[in-house]
């Protein structure tokens, strides 16, 4: 057993406590602006493959005697979600009488189910039926940016909408707000949400409420994607390959080029760096955003300029420099040759299969997809580094936008259903507060397995990802990091002999996930000056709602053509002119009106 002396950071603990070998797909699950409306309604998807790391939840520090207790294993049978979690379950605030609420399920890409479970019928849906009398019936199910844009556009076009929305944001949020299709939940929220829930959700002053507030009223339960959940890119490199080839961790774009070239040629790889391009230049895995950040720009981001106004990052000088670099790299075969068709989740196969030795991704990458890399090559040793500096020493990464996504209700929904969803959220936070690890559910066989009294990693998913309603993703909130840190410190003070196998696994970090995550998180927070922040967090403007999908398509096609050699870099100027004339100038005017009103 490893010594329990080392203080594990709050962010690193989120991996240890989660017992997951997958990566967070906050951005992966956020629906992108749809570009087409299929003719048939979406059907619930039955996903497979690996998923994303969970975020452990918040709560008050558990007393030492509660931490040390190991009686949970004797109180609950195997397979019970409360096993290893609490010495006694916290009762739900209210139990309903077989209440059915339809919702969309925007799932992590690559999510895995246990046994015969599906999104419609799984350990969490059965648990919620039993404990709170609510069943969240899938209106449709989709997997992040792979299928959710199609599912959303189909449902919106057919007006085939659920009663309860999750991961609602962007153009879809703007359309529903403008059409008065969302329910004002202010009064029910005020009377039903507990004090702890309001605190965790930063109500009423948190910036996450900006996109869903209209006339001083709130039209949903927003959630934060900040803190540990952030998708800020770091550079990840195979240290064992650097050592083998006598190379150092790259620090500049030139260094990055030399390492990419050496990896491709001397390790006989099909690429120098893994890249995902089907979702744009800034995404959550195998992203290209640091190439642009090295020249001080960030495509699709609204950034403050010298005159105090906001400008669209894709139209600023510096893009041509980044595009020139990327086009040269692509021509030399250093970038994933099929990056045009690959999304972030698909690009992860490059790492799992050890087809690439570098990529840009978040600090939680040791949880996913890097364990698959080591599984296929035991020598694989991935380490994190700072995003590279450009010719002038500039560094930049896309700061993950904290505000913008929400859960909401279709106008006309029975108020009892709004109350039930809020009470469910109250219950989650109460459970987290009572949990010795700050997570409201961990299920044997999914989050972990036990063999001969020893706990090991589960199926590469967490049961919380199946949870409907106010479960994933609404349990995200910034204070969870501090609270889970406090709980971890309590565990570290406990006598190891008093800890059950689950808690021993949590504090010992046998897979090394927490150790590497801790180092990456430390680097991320030490280099916050590298962030390029998207200053616009409001609901989409009228012109964005009307023309956004068209302009996004124009931009994506222009950038891809330039990078792949289908058009010269000078065509970027034509894209800028087209973007401005086809609605961009009007959007810029609307964005700056919003900006001035919020100063």
Indicate left, alpha or beta for 57 from its phi (over 0: left) and psi (-120 to 50: alpha). beta
Query: Cα angle at 34 between 100 and 396, to 5 degrees?
Result: 110
pLDDT bucket at 225, cuts 50 / 70 / 90: low
Count of alpha carbons within 13 angstroms of residue 594, beta-carbon side: 20
The pLDDT, as a whole number, for residue 554 is 95
Cα separation, 137 vs 469, in Å, equals 10
Burial class of 121 by CB neighbour count within 10 A (0 to 12, 13 to 18, 19+): middle
- Identify the residue whose tokens are 């690429």: 271
Is residue 117 domain-shared with residue 178, that is, in the same domain? Answer: yes
Is residue 219 domain-shared with residue 245, that is, in the same domain? Answer: no
Given a contact cutoff of 8 angstroms between Cβ atoms, the answer to whether 225 and 52 are in contact is no
* Higher-pLDDT residue of 274, 402: 274
The pLDDT, as a whole number, for residue 237 is 98
pLDDT bucket at 166, cuts 50 / 70 / 90: very high
What's the distance, CA 317 to chain centroid? 30
Cα separation, 359 vs 532, in Å, equals 19
In this predicted structure, the answer to whether residue 241 has a pLDDT above a threshold of 90 is yes
- 4 within a domain of the structure (yes/no): no
In this predicted structure, the answer to whether residue 493 has a pLDDT above a threshold of 80 is yes
Domain boundary among 466, 493, 526: 526
Edge-to-edge strand list for the sheet holding 405-409: 134-143, 99-107, 164-169, 405-409, 221-223
* Higher-pLDDT residue of 565, 454: 565
pLDDT bucket at 475, cuts 50 / 70 / 90: confident
The pLDDT, as a whole number, for residue 585 is 98
- pLDDT digit string, tens, across residues 245-256: 999 999 999 999
Cα separation, 35 vs 50, in Å, equals 27
Cα separation, 173 vs 176, in Å, equals 5
The pLDDT, as a whole number, for residue 69 is 36
> How much is the pTM?
0.74
Q: How far is CA 233 from CA 143, 215, 236, 293, 382, in A?
A: 22, 36, 9, 11, 15
Mean pLDDT over all residues of the chain?
83
Is residue 558 domain-shared with residue 486, that is, in the same domain? Answer: no
Q: How far is CA 293 from CA 165, 250, 255, in A?
A: 34, 16, 16
Is residue 124 domain-shared with residue 213, that is, in the same domain? Answer: yes
Burial class of 250 by CB neighbour count within 10 A (0 to 12, 13 to 18, 19+): buried
Tokens of 586: 């009007």
Domain boundary among 526, 555, 573: 526
The pLDDT, as a whole number, for residue 139 is 96
- 42 within a domain of the structure (yes/no): no
Is residue 15 domain-shared with residue 139, that is, in the same domain? Answer: yes
Domain boundary among 526, 557, 586: 526
- 34 within a domain of the structure (yes/no): no
Is residue 299 domain-shared with residue 365, that is, in the same domain? Answer: yes
- 534 within a domain of the structure (yes/no): no
- pLDDT digit string, tens, across residues 387-402: 999 999 999 999 887 7
% pLDDT > 70, the chain: 83
Read off the pLDDT of each residue in 496-507 and give the average, rounded to a whole number: 83
- pLDDT digit string, tens, across residues 53-109: 332 233 333 333 333 333 344 456 666 666 655 555 688 999 999 999 999 998 876
Strand (E) or helix (H) holding 385: strand 382-385
The pLDDT, as a whole number, for residue 97 is 95
Is residue 335 domain-shared with residue 438, that is, in the same domain? Answer: no
Q: How many domains does the chain have?
A: 2
- 5 within a domain of the structure (yes/no): no
* Higher-pLDDT residue of 64, 189: 189
Is residue 281 domain-shared with residue 382, that is, in the same domain? Answer: yes
Q: Is the dihedral of CA 139, 142, 148, 154 positive or negative?
A: negative
Concatenate the DSSP letters of all residues of 261-327 into one string: HHHHHHTT-S-SB----TT-SS-SSS--HHHHHTTT--TT-EEE-TTS-EEEGGGSTTHHHHHHHHH
The pLDDT, as a whole number, for residue 146 is 74
Residues linked to residue 142 through DSSP beta bridges, in sequence order? 106
Highest mean pLDDT among 134-138, 373-377, 478-482: 134-138
The pLDDT, as a whole number, for residue 572 is 98
- 38 within a domain of the structure (yes/no): no
Is residue 256 domain-shared with residue 112, that is, in the same domain? Answer: no
- 427 within a domain of the structure (yes/no): yes
- pLDDT digit string, tens, across residues 5-61: 333 333 333 333 333 323 333 333 333 333 332 223 333 333 333 333 332 233 333
The pLDDT, as a whole number, for residue 403 is 76
- pLDDT digit string, tens, across residues 518-541: 788 889 889 989 999 999 988 889
- Identify the residue whose tokens are 């085939």: 160
Please give the residue range of the domain that contains residue 25: 10-29+54-228+402-526
Is residue 178 domain-shared with residue 167, that is, in the same domain? Answer: yes
Pick the closest to residue 344 from 582, 182, 110 (CA basis): 110
The pLDDT, as a whole number, for residue 79 is 64
Is residue 80 domain-shared with residue 218, that is, in the same domain? Answer: yes
Is residue 240 domain-shared with residue 141, that is, in the same domain? Answer: no
The pLDDT, as a whole number, for residue 39 is 29
Read off the pLDDT of each residue in 119-132 and give the average, rounded to a whole number: 92
CATH number, domain containing residue 304: 3.40.190.10
- 208 within a domain of the structure (yes/no): yes
- pLDDT digit string, tens, across residues 542-563: 999 899 989 999 999 999 999 9
């Amino acid at each position: 057993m490893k010594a329990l002396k080392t203080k594990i950071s709050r962010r690193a603990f989120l991996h240890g406590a989660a017992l997951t070998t997958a990566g967070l797909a906050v951005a992966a699950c956020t629906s992108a602006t749809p570009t087409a409306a299929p003719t048939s309604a979406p059907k619930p998807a039955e996903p497979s493959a690996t998923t994303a790391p969970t975020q452990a939840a918040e709560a008050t520090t558990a007393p030492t005697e509660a931490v040390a207790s190991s009686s949970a294993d004797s109180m609950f049978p195997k397979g019970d979600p409360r096993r290893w979690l609490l010495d006694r379950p916290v009762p739900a605030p209210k139990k309903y009488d077989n209440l059915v609420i339809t919702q969309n399920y925007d799932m992590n890409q690559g999510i895995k189910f246990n046994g015969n479970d599906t999104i419609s019928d799984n350990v969490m849906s059965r648990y919620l039926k039993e404990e709170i009398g609510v069943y969240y019936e899938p209106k449709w199910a989709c997997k992040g940016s792979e299928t959710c844009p199609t599912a959303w556009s189909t449902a919106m076009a057919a007006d085939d909408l659920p009663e309860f929305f999750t991961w609602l944001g962007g153009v879809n949020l703007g359309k529903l707000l403008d059409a008065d299709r969302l329910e004002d939940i202010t009064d029910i929220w005020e009377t039903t949400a507990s004090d702890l829930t309001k605190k965790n959700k930063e109500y009423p002053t948190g910036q996450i409420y900006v996109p869903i507030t209209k006339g001083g009223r709130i039209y949903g339960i927003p959630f934060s994607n900040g803190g540990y959940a952030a998708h800020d890119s770091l550079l990840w490199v195979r240290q064992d390959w650097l050592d083998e080839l006598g190379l150092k961790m790259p620090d500049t774009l030139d260094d990055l080029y030399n390492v990419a070239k050496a990896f491709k040629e001397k390790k006989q790889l099909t690429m120098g760096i893994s890249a995902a391009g089907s979702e744009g230049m800034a995404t959550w895995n195998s992203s290209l955003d640091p190439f642009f950040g090295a020249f001080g720009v960030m495509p699709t981001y609204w950034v403050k300029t010298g005159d105090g106004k906001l400008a669209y990052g894709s139209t600023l000088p510096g893009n041509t420099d980044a595009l020139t670099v990327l086009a040269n790299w692509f021509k030399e075969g250093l970038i994933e040759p099929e990056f045009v068709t690959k999304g972030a989740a698909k690009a992860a196969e490059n790492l799992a299969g050890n087809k690439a030795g570098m990529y840009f991704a978040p600090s939680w990458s040791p949880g996913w997809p890097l364990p698959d890399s080591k599984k296929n090559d035991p020598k694989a040793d991935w380490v994190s580094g700072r995003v590279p500096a450009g010719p002038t020493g500039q560094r930049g990464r896309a700061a993950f936008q904290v505000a913008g996504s929400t859960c909401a209700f279709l106008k006309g929904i029975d108020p009892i259903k709004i109350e039930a969803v809020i009470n469910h959220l109250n219950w989650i936070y109460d459970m987290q507060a009572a949990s010795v690890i700050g997570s409201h559910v961990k299920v044997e066989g999914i989050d972990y397995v036990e063999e001969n009294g020893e706990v090991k990693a589960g199926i590469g998913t967490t049961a919380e990802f199946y949870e409907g309603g106010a479960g994933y993703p609404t349990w995200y909130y910034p204070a969870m990091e501090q609270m889970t840190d406090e709980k971890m410190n309590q565990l570290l003070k406990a006598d190891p002999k008093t800890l059950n196998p689950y808690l021993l696994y949590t504090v010992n970090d046998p897979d090394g996930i927490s150790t590497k995550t801790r180092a990456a998180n430390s680097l991320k927070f030490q280099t916050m000056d590298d962030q390029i922040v998207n200053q616009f967090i409001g609901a989409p403007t009228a012109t964005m709602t009307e023309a956004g999908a068209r302009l996004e398509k124009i931009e994506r096609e222009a950038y891809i053509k330039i990078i792949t050699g289908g058009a010269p870099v000078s065509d970027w100027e034509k894209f800028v002119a087209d973007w401005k004339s086809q609605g961009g100038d009007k959007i810029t005017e609307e964005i700056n009106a919003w900006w001035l009103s919020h100063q």
